[in-house]
A and B are shown apart, each in its own frame.
Chain A
Amino acid sequence: MNALSRIVLARNVNSKVLNVLKYSTSGIAGDRWKGVVNNAEKVVGYPTSFLNLRWLLNDEISNIALHITKLIGTNHPIIKIARDLLHQTDCPKWGLIILLVSKAAGINHKVAEIERDITSGILHNQRVLAEITEMIKTGHNLHNGMMKIDDEDDNHNDLRFGNKIALLSGDYLYSKSFQELAQLKNHSLNEIISTSLRDLAEAEFFRPRDSRRDILPHRPCIDKNLILSKTDPGPYDLNKYMGNSREEWILRNLLNGVNLLAKSCKGALILGEHPEFLQDKAYIFGRSLALAWQANEETKPFLHKSFLPFTLVNAPVIFQLESDPDMYDLLDASEIDYETIRSRVIEGEGVEKTMNLQMEFVDDALEALEYFPESDARDSLVKIVRALEI
């Protein structure tokens, strides 16, 4: 545990990261969000720290923690991931959403008495699934935090070691989730969660990337107008959608985590033995909520006087490209001038288009919820979605 506390206390040398922490948790919107989440936690009757003690009190984790402490002082992303995990700063907790969806669907009379948790109206299996989802999400974050290292980089040996630890600890969480999934003894669930693992792996392979090895959006193509179905579980033929700003942005995020939440929401209803029709609504709800939340996050760097860092595939940038294709030269430059891009997006239509899309997802999520019976869990979900209304 000593190693864990050192990770929490470690000051990150990267001031940019500190800025993110400061800004993302402040402001009126942040307070509103917190209130909604606190309320929702009461509904599921369970503290939503999914950082279960069972994970922490074993050899592998203490081994990992010890190794991570060696990396304090480098700028390897694994430090931030570990600290966020311990601090529980990255909201919203997907596990919480899954529990709320489980409860909102109600308990089907077909499910055996012994499986049910009478006080909270959630199946034990569904709680395990919530945990699995959080494990997979963290595992993917760890693998995603691996750095591309050149031999010329300073302290490349330390960074390589960081990669090694990130890889192993991600694998550890994946292997735990496989085991827990197997114990749920539900083939359909197992299959759908496996496809979400596939999606996460695929997310790394979007083309094109720029010379600085950051992610680069596709050049806008106005002639691509194929629309992705709201219930398509993948795999997706990306070439059909790349360059179509809206669908490209959706796909990037679907693969990079949104599908995990959406498929877990569906999985929770599979475990609850609810009809397929409702399972699909749960999928659409999870998908729409996560996309709305993502759009909201990605707009923040383009709001008044923001200093938040952003990537070139942030929604407002992609949407700005749609009406301002010449901006692509700025993105494709050898030295990227993020501040010029920022002001160009702020002056243009990118932010507005992103907000419209966000509202579209909010509406989709609310519509999906209408198919669930009225309950305090459904009310909580509605409040969570409404917190994302603009």
Chain B
Amino acid sequence: MACTGPSKLCARICWWKQCTQIRKKISTTSSKCSDERTLSYFPKSNSTTINSTSFRHRDLHSSNVADIASRIRCYGTIGTPQTGPMPEYEYQPYKLLEDDLKDVYTYIREALRKNTYQDDLYEIATYYFDGHGKAIRPMVAILMARAINCHINKNSNFLLSAQREVGMISEMIHTASLIHDDVIDQSDFRRGKPSVNVMWNQKKVTMAGDFILAVASMLIARLRNNSVTLVLSQVVTDLVQGEFMQLGSKETENERFAHYLTKTYRKTASLIANSMKSVAILAGADEELCNLSYQYGKNLGIGFQLVDDLLDFVSSSEAMGKPAAADLKLGLATAPVLFACEKFPELNPMIMRRFQEPGDVQRAFELVHKSEGLEQTQFLAKQHCQEAARLANSLTESPYQKGLIVTADFVLNRMK
């Protein structure tokens, strides 16, 4: 249900209208599944979900997102087979992959260092590889790689160096696109520090982005695998096309949501999905397994971005490392706004003028909080993460496979 090809996106719009009905069902079942056992996969710290104090706006009508989230979480575990209580720390992805991940940034910096003697270029190019990022892309890529390896090779535990490199490459492509985004969006802050855009001139920053991409492309070529090269080159095309879609949207209200989801796929999910597919190809997986891996990444990626768009409305700027309501200020209408349009049609003209008139941002922000936009966004994200978990569940059981399921939950319930 939740796996959407770009062509099927229109169906999505009709589909979510049914969500309201489903949601009513959730609230009726929620009391029945409040059993502690269903939460046992997840560390306690996650179970508080979105802290209600972090809401800027308190008068969410019927209920708050925290309630919805915990209700939905119970709902999500109904469908998955229970494997009994487990020690929760055991499947924490970052713990599981501690050894694999600790050197990712060092390797990336080394690869960049080997390719230039120019200190200022190196400085800009490594500015975001300071080790403070979440490294979520390498994390899921390596997690999937190990899970697939276990699946194919009957629980033998190993990681191919090529698979590790795909993890690195995905982080490099991501960072190159972040750097270019900083120039395009004129952003001042990212990850709690001044963005590259304010530190250096735009041309240098652009070239530093190109440099990271060039080195990533060299690493890809050195993997000596044609399918992986093709899959990862598609990512770059998707990223650029996604950026173009963000530049201007003239579609009608009906097309808008499909446009948003396609953009989300291209800008965020494609990279995760295709690096998942790449590690599967490298493992020697058949087409079906590669596709499973891809679909997991795609759902996870879309879920991830939906949560990101949600957090832009509810999280404090300190937690995010960038200003709140940043998307609105950039003129972007994300899922919460698009959902809110249903209830408050006066948002439509604001979307069309990209929230440029004085007071638009504030007004839109308030309307989103008055509507059910945040819950609906959370619900849609939930659907995607749940689908990802379902796919991961069909792999042979292993700590990494469990880790993939935990990751889907982590993505949904993260605070920043």
Which positions in A face B, CB cutoff 8 Å?
A: 59-60, 63, 67, 143-144, 146-149, 160, 163-164, 167-168, 170-172, 174-176, 178-179, 181-183, 185, 187-188, 190-191, 194-195, 197-198, 200-205, 207, 235-239
State whether B117 touches A238 (Cβ < 8 A). yes
CA distance A143 to B204 in the complex (A): 10
State whether B233 touches A198 (Cβ < 8 A). no
Number of interface residues of B (CB under 8 A): 44
- Shortest Cβ distance from residue A110 to the other chain B in the assembled complex, whole angstroms: 19
Query: Interface residues of A: mostly helix, strand, loop or mixed?
Result: helix
Query: Interface residues of B: mostly helix, strand, loop or mixed?
Result: helix
State whether B221 touches A175 (Cβ < 8 A). no
**Which residues of B lie under 8 Å from residue A207 when comparing CB positions?**
120
**Which residues of A lie under 8 Å from residue B202 when comparing CB positions?**
146-149, 163, 167
Which positions in B face A, CB cutoff 8 Å?
A: 114-118, 120-121, 180, 183-184, 186, 201-204, 206-208, 210-211, 213-215, 217-218, 220-222, 224, 226, 229-230, 232-234, 236-237, 239-241, 243-244, 247-248
CA distance A191 to B218 in the complex (A): 5
A197 interface neighbour in B183, B206, B214, Cβ under 8 Å: B214
A198 interface neighbour in B204, B215, B224, B247, Cβ under 8 Å: B215
CA distance A160 to B226 in the complex (A): 39
State whether A63 touches B248 (Cβ < 8 A). yes
> Given A187-B222, A194-B218, A202-B116, are A167 and B233 also a contact pair (CB < 8 Å)?
no
State whether B211 touches A171 (Cβ < 8 A). no
**Which residues of B lie under 8 Å from residue A181 when comparing CB positions?**
233
B184 interface neighbour in A167, A235, A239, Cβ under 8 Å: A167
A174 interface neighbour in B186, B213, B247, Cβ under 8 Å: B213
State whether A204 touches B204 (Cβ < 8 A). yes
- Complex: chain A residue closest to B183, CB-CB: A167
A236 interface neighbour in B117, B236, B248, Cβ under 8 Å: B117
**A to B CB contacts below 8 Å, 9 in the list:** A175-B240, A181-B233, A182-B229, A197-B217, A198-B214, A202-B116, A205-B116, A205-B204, A238-B118
> Given A63-B248, A176-B237, A202-B116, are A194 and B243 also a contact pair (CB < 8 Å)?
no
Known pairs A191-B221, A202-B116 / 16 extra A-B pairs, C-beta < 8 Å = A60-B241, A148-B201, A163-B183, A167-B202, A167-B206, A168-B243, A172-B244, A175-B237, A179-B233, A185-B226, A191-B218, A195-B214, A198-B116, A205-B118, A205-B120, A235-B114
CA distance A194 to B213 in the complex (A): 9
A171 interface neighbour in B114, B180, B221, B232, Cβ under 8 Å: B180
> Given A174-B236, A178-B237, are A63 and B247 also a contact pair (CB < 8 Å)?
yes
State whether A239 touches B117 (Cβ < 8 A). yes
- Complex: chain A residue closest to B212, CB-CB: A201
- Shortest Cβ distance from residue A239 to the other chain B in the assembled complex, whole angstroms: 7
State whether B210 touches A197 (Cβ < 8 A). yes
**Which residues of A lie under 8 Å from residue B211 when comparing CB positions?**
198, 201-202
**Which residues of A lie under 8 Å from residue B207 when comparing CB positions?**
143, 200-205
- Shortest Cβ distance from residue A286 to the other chain B in the assembled complex, whole angstroms: 19
- Shortest Cβ distance from residue B338 to the other chain A in the assembled complex, whole angstroms: 22
State whether B118 touches A168 (Cβ < 8 A). no
**Which residues of A lie under 8 Å from residue B222 when comparing CB positions?**
187, 191
Most buried by B among A167, A185, A195: A167
State whether B224 touches A187 (Cβ < 8 A). yes
CA distance A163 to B207 in the complex (A): 13
State whether A168 touches B117 (Cβ < 8 A). no
> Given A63-B248, A179-B234, are A174 and B210 also a contact pair (CB < 8 Å)?
yes
State whether A168 touches B184 (Cβ < 8 A). yes
The 7 closest A-B pairs by CB, nearest first: A201-B211, A197-B214, A182-B233, A190-B221, A191-B221, A198-B214, A194-B217
- Complex: chain A residue closest to B243, CB-CB: A168
- Shortest Cβ distance from residue A211 to the other chain B in the assembled complex, whole angstroms: 14
- Shortest Cβ distance from residue B311 to the other chain A in the assembled complex, whole angstroms: 26
- Complex: chain A residue closest to B226, CB-CB: A185
